[in-house]
Amino acid sequence: MESISGLSVSEILRKVQRIEILARRQVNELMAGGYQSVFKGRGMEFEEVREYQPGDDIRSIDWNVTARSGRPFIKRYAEERELTVMFLVDLSASGMFGSQSQSKLDLALEVAALLMFTALKNNDKVGLVLFCDQVGHYIPPRKGKSHVLRCLRELVASRPIARQADFAKATEFLGRVQKRRGVVFLLSDFLGIEDFQGLAVTGQRHDLIAVSLDDPRERSLPDVGLLRLLDPESGELRELDTSSAAVRQAFEQRGQQRRVQLQEGLARAGLDHLPLHTGEAYLQTLLRFFQMRRRRMH
């Protein structure tokens, strides 16, 4: 498979090695920052139904049994010894954009690598789904360093696709191949998403975390006169006069509206949202996200 920049096999391996070194330097901080406690108990197997007792989590109530018996009952689960951590990565061509030192896809790759190596250290299984308008590649979850490196090689070597991402197809595929509850990181810029229903359904089955990727130039434009912008997914070429304050303001307003719609859509779907930006340090953002989840759980 050809890579984003047409890398040779040796170049792909060298890039994976650089990413591995970068990720491994940060794994201990992420482990100390609460990876285990944040996802502890998220991989569960059904054990039994028992009568509700004061202090039980009302979210565990089995409404079917409760309705039949006339008394509240809850579902009990046994914690699995390991988690299954799945990575759904959006390969639509808009991810190639980047005005900083990295593109959005570069950022997705680095963050996925960090989380994969953290999962490896926690003895968790890791799996990968690459998608755009179709599911392009699937690597079933397994343990081990060689498996993580295989996932990263596939990510580095993958070519972005000039089409809009179909999140429903990606989540439907995940539902077919991953029956047991796990942790799912969905990495995408979420451009063009309108229907959050598939994400909501997946979020009920799994611990789904939406990792949104954006670039500063998607939030505001500099005053550089006439600027030609190419949509990598549609091929449409647009020309903007950035010397116009009204044009810059309209661009910012559209970007802000898009971010608000995404945030509201993910909230309605009941999902945790982790926004990341190219050119910014992501480790501290991940640690703050883990701390937020840990506070909410306790």
Q: What's the pLDDT tens digit per position in 20-31?
A: 998 988 999 988
CATH number of 9-39+81-297: 3.40.50.410
Give the three-class secondary structure for 244: coil
**For residue 149, what pLDDT is reported?**
96
Q: Give residue-wise pLDDT tens across range 58-75.
A: 777 888 888 888 888 887
Q: What's the sign of the alpha-carbon dihedral 141, 142, 148, 149? A: negative
How far is the C-alpha of 29 from the C-alpha of 45, rounded, in Å?
A: 29
The alpha-carbon radius of gyration of the chain (Å, integer) is 21
Going residue by residue through the chain, which has 298 residues, state the pLDDT in tens, using 9 for 90 and above.
Answer: 334 446 677 888 888 998 999 898 899 998 888 887 777 544 455 557 788 887 777 777 888 888 888 888 887 765 555 789 999 999 998 888 878 788 999 999 999 999 999 999 988 999 999 999 999 999 999 999 999 999 999 999 988 888 889 999 999 999 999 988 899 999 999 998 988 999 999 999 999 999 999 998 887 776 666 767 666 656 667 776 667 777 778 778 887 888 999 999 999 999 999 999 998 889 999 999 998 888 876 6
**For residue 1, what pLDDT is reported?**
34
Give the three-class secondary structure for 70: coil
Domain ranges of the chain: 9-39+81-297, 45-79
DSSP 168-193: HHHHHHHHHH--S--EEEEEE--TT-
| Encoded tokens for 280 | 């910014």
| Encoded tokens for 106 | 């570069």
